[in-house]
Chains A and B, each alone.
Chain A
């Protein structure tokens, strides 16, 4: 059974600080990795994706991938109250299947 694991949280971070979200996956053959944000009652929206080992930056967001450790992370710099949401890690486990972790609830306190 291919799994994507995340700490459920809540993770509480002060405004302006760095939020660090982590994810592990079980399928060593996975090639593509995604971070989605989901506000309560809304659909997931893509923040960023990463294929290669190392870091990928997009504005205040940095995704990090370590395939040897089967570990993906998301850093959010200068956290804002609007970043308060559930962050979903997702993994493309085959050509037509993307599976999601259960999400980490992030709360940014003013």
Chain B
């Protein structure tokens, strides 16, 4: 069964550093998403991406965040200058119609 792939599974970085989280969505899916989940809290919507542009974004997705689909398969989330509060599990997801499929996540720790 096709799946959403995320790398790396864990990322440790220093505050103020840039990080790039990578995702390979399911190949025939049209919408791509990033969510984050701070430990013990809800899964929060960050951004959706369709037809090579941002479709919607939340108030969390400020100027420090950007997304890109650099080629036909990868979908990336960049955090330009990480803060301690960016520490969370970041999930990539994709769908074609209604069913949202999640990757296994990248655990980001900002020290």
Contacts and interface: CB of A to CB of B under 8 A. Distances in A.
Interface of A: 32, 34, 38, 42-46, 49, 88, 90, 92, 94-103
Interface in B28-73: 31, 33, 35, 41-45, 48, 50, 55-56
* Main SS class of interface, A: strand
Contacts of B75: none
Contact of B102 (A45, A92, A95, A103): A45
B98 A96 contact: no
A100 B56 contact: no
A96 B102 contact: no
B105 interface: yes
Nearest to A49: B98
B56 A92 contact: no
A42 B33 CA distance: 17
B56 A96 contact: yes
A110 B48 CA distance: 41
Interface of B: 31, 33, 35, 41-45, 48, 50, 55-56, 91, 98-105
A98 B100 contact: yes
B100 A99 contact: no
A88 B43 contact: yes
Contacts of A49: 98-99
A49 B101 CA distance: 13
Rank and list the top 4 A-B pairs by shortest CB-CB distance, nearest first: A96-B55, A96-B48, A43-B102, A102-B42
Nearest to A100: B43
A43 B48 CA distance: 18
